[in-house]
Structure 1
Amino acid sequence: MAAVPTIRAYANFDKDKDVQILRKAMKGMGTDEKALVDIIAYRNNPQRQELKLHYKTCYGRDLVDDIKSECSGNFEKVLLALLDLPPLFDAKCLGAAMKGAGTNENLLIEILCTRTSAQIKAIKVAYKEGFGRNLEEDLKSETKGDFERLLVGLSAAGRDDSDEVDQEKIDSDAKALYEAGEGKFGTDESEFQRVLLGRSYAHVRAVFDAYGNISKKSIEEAIKSEMSGDLQYSYLTIVKCVRNPSEYYADMLASSMKGIGTNEEKLMRCLVSRSEVDLGTIKAVYAAKHGKSLRDTIKGETRGDFENALLALINEQKS
């Protein structure tokens, strides 16, 4: 299924008109939140970067600072996320995952296991510029064992991002995975890392098919039986993204709004990061798999200006 975004470059983009609307929305008593959403959520990221610069040029004020002073809560967070360059937003998420006591391993997995090598390279630069620290060193200090080695391997960003498939190595890679897991006592996690992180996505997909020809288990079933905890979750995330990224994100959205309470930050991260990539495709997969439109689910789980901003990102604003 082709990747269809929901947010594209705004055809009638007029940065001068837009910054006037933004300034008026935050000037004086009260804030026009709808005006902020109508501009920020409906421009793509390069256009938002132009708006940040032009706003400062025209008014001698920082657009981000003005939003921080006029907005609050998750509504503020989603606007600020949209104004960040994507690598910086991801870098901030990683920094937040490793800040203070304890580490949010799920957030590390959510970012590092789903981004391309090119994206991770950009994230590392943004992380260094934003925090003055090395991402790999921070990962080493916050994690350990096979999970640490997996995250360090991902942060190395050495995967081939092309569609290259090495036919001669497909069967040997599938056999290597089998012999590293099901075919022996114990598990050689390094072989899983070598294949799943070192090969192109197209090659790894072919390896999964070949694995099914030599084992009674799927690669997912093998990972579940051979691994546990954060390492298992990491590899299952990689497999899902390799097989069908749109389905992975549809499930991620569903999990963020499942049960008592909504994980609004997880919901926001997903919609912001995918809106200019494949959120249109994700919407269709979500409806087909979960039997309810993404719009209706969001309306049932969120409220107010935050809801309006999220609905704008999926191009279905609150009526």
Structure 2
Amino acid sequence: MTLWCGDYGEYVKEFPTVHPITLFDPLSDAKALRIAMKGFGTDEQSIINILCKRSNAQRQVIAEMYHKEFGRDLIADLKSELSGDFEELIVGLMMPKDKYLAKHLRKAIKGVGTSEDVLVEILCAYSYDELMKIAATYNSMYGKSLNDDIKEDTSGSFRRFLLNTLKKCTDSVMDGGENTYHSARAQEEARILFKAGEGQIGTDENAFVDILGFAAQRRRQTSVIFQEYTKISGKTMEQAITSEMSGVILNGLLDIVKIIRNRPAFFAERLELAMKGLGTNDDALIRIIVSRCEIDLVNTKVEYERVYHKTLHSSVESETSGDYKRALLALIGPPSFSSEVATPLFYL
């Protein structure tokens, strides 16, 4: 897969760290997992070797085979044998991606307080088709629509922004897909944003929300809007938003700008924040690595090293321990990119 990257002004090829294995034998894997969990003690390394080295689709087949062969639920057995962050990581790997992300959206909305950053991370980093699948799964799992829960637990411009991410963009620019653009339209929208912010006293937040709320569905168009805005005002979009907004809508809009400019760099920053300072935000660390390892985690590793001058592998190694650490490192892959991509720059 390729993705338009505003920072580089070109398409970026996405590289995962976890791939489906070619010689896949789900019955053998199911038997090995049963042996690892049967009797006294648990062979955690065998669980890591199997589940961290299979694609999500292959893990679903293993779970089906496990039930067929032993009449047992694999996830239930894993929960009974594992604990703590290691359990959270392994059980997360066993969930289909749409269910996993729906679970985290629910937790972000209905947990203690609302985790606005998690809502933006998920709703702005995936395509519209992926979001519709996640939203349908959310409805199936919780008996309530994602839209309704967002309406109940958020407010103001931030609520409008999130709801826009779940609407289908009807802009004619989208006829050619998310990576198409129209220069004249971008200039017009940049002028609208300037007039809504710097060009008047006060700020029309809805103008920003209504244009940037659809950014993930029209990535290249939005990237051109950023360029046109700088030509008009002399400021970057980040500078304009920071001077005009505050609170959760400020953070939400800044995040979508980061995602459009360089999505792997956005996730690299999130991973650094999860490990920076006292204590580790294991919930964020697990969520990002589990959800991105089959999409673009190699790209994120490259950006992490470029920005922070250390490898993601070394950071995780120093911040975690035990089976949890070994499982995370298995998903992240080697510190070097040479075995994963032909060139560490990988920009087309």
Give the TM-score, by structure 1 length. 0.96
Which residue number corresponds to residue 198 of structure 1?
214
| RMSD (Å), alpha carbons | 1.4
- 1:188 deviation in Å? 1.1
- Which of the numbers 37, 48, 63 marks the counterpart of 1:26? 37
Amino acid at match of 1:238: I
Aligned structure 1 segments of 4 or more residues deviating by more than 3 angstroms:
157-161
Query: Is 1:59 the equivalent of 2:70?
Result: yes
Give deviations 1:181-205, integer Å, cap 9, x for gaps.
1111111122112222335101000
| Correspondence 1:130-145 to 2 at 5 A | 130-145=141-156
1:139-191 CA deviation, whole Å, 9 max, x = no partner?
11111111111111123354855212122201101111111111111111221
Q: Give distance in 2, aligned partners of 1:138 and 1:197.
A: 18
> Are the structure 2 counterparts of residues 18 and 147 from structure 1 closer, same or farther at C-alpha, using a change threshold of 3 Å?
same
Distance 2:274 2:123 in 1: 18
Partner of 2:130: 119
- Contact between 1:120 and 1:157, CA under 8 Å: does it hold in 2? no
Q: Does 1:182 align with 2:198?
A: yes
Q: Which residue does the alignment assign to 2:340?
A: none
Structure 1: state its 5+ residue gaps.
none
Paired position in structure 2 for 1:269: 287
The counterpart of 2:117, out of the listed 68, 82, 106, is: 106
In the alignment, which residue of structure 1 is the partner of 2:315? 297
Match of 2:343 in 1: none
3-state SS of the aligned residue for 2:125? coil
Supply the distance in 2 between the matched residues of 1:167 and 1:114 (Cα, whole angstroms): 24
**Aligned residue type for 2:241:** I
- Give unmatched runs, 5+ long, in structure 2: 1-11, 336-348
* 1:4 paired residue number: 15
Q: 2:102 corresponds to which residue? A: 91
Q: How many residues align?
A: 317
Residue 334 of structure 2 corresponds to residue 316 of structure 1: yes
Query: Which one-letter code corresponds to 2:240 in the other structure?
Result: A
Shift of 1:100: 4.7
Specify the SS of the correspondent of 2:91.
helix
Contact 1:114 1:237 in 2 (8 A): no
Q: Do the aligned residues in 2 keep the contact of 1:5 with 1:279 (CA within 8 Å)?
A: yes
Aligned to 2:3: none
Q: Structure 2: how far apart are the matches of 1:42 and 1:179?
A: 52
Q: Is the 8 A contact 1:174 1:211 kept in 2?
A: yes
The yes-or-no answer on 1:241 pairing with 2:259 is yes
Question: Judging changes above 3 Å, is the alpha-carbon distance between structure 1 residues 157 and 67 closer, same or farther for their aligned structure 2 residues?
Answer: farther
Distance 1:98 1:129 in 2: 16
- After the TM superposition, which of the residue ranges 114-123 and 54-63 deviates more from structure 2? 114-123
Determine the C-alpha separation between the residues in 1 that align with 2:168 and 2:76: 33
The answer to whether 1:281 aligns with 2:303 is no
CA offsets 1:20-51 (integer angstroms, 9 cap, x no match): 11111111111111111111111011111111
Aligned match for 2:184, one of 135, 156, 168: 168
Conserved? CA contact 2:161–2:210, under 8 Å: no
Distance in 1 between residues matched to 2:307 and 2:168, nearest whole Å: 32
Give 1:44's aligned residue: 55
CA distance in 2 between partners of 1:287 and 1:78 (Å): 24
Stretch deviating more after TM superposition (282-291 or 149-158): 149-158
Cα distance in 2, alignment partners of residues 185 and 110 from structure 1: 31
The residue type equivalent to 2:133 in the other structure is: A
* Contact 1:64–1:80 under 8 Å retained in 2: yes
Question: What TM-score, normalized by structure 2, do the two folds share?
Answer: 0.88
